Amino acid sequence: MSNVPFLYPNVTSLPGQTGVGQSDRLPRKPEGAPGEFDQALDRAIQKPGTGLRTEPLGPGALDQLKAPLKFSAHASQRLRERKIELDPATLAKVVDAVDKADAKGIDDTLVLTKDVALIVNVKNRTVITAMDKTQMTGNVFTNIDGAVIV
């Protein structure tokens, strides 16, 4: 191990080398002072059109941040054919049911409301198919690993 330089803790340079010395370093920022990242973030927030929220999140704001449900082409067709309409209150319950299924680790769930049955892929948040209460009777639901009744 001849002529192999070793770096020692708290040593700024090796003996006989020139380089950045202690006096050449930038001064440390005072405790609690904003760093470069904080300053860049502040500039981005102040700049209009950056898409960053500057107001605090109020009650119910997390509900607005949740991913909405998508409807597959098949589900959209079934909704039209069967004249099924989902009002905002029912849709909110379905979204809540999908969130509950997601929290339990369910992949594909059956969401039952008083009027509609929906098969939903939880991971993709996509409604796969839909049927109204008249078509639910006598049906066997397959390829699901959970059900949420709302």
- Residue 137 carries which DSSP code? T
**Which residue ranges make up each domain of the chain?**
61-149
* For the chain, counts of helices (H) and of strands (E): 5, 5
- 105-141 pLDDT tens trace: 999 999 999 999 999 999 999 999 999 988 888 888 9
The overall pTM is greater than 0.85: no
pLDDT in tens, 36-74: 777 777 776 665 554 545 555 445 544 544 568 999 999
Q: Can you say whether residue 51 is alpha, beta or left, with left for phi > 0 and alpha for psi between -120 and 50 degrees?
A: left
Domain 61-149 has CATH 3.30.2310: yes
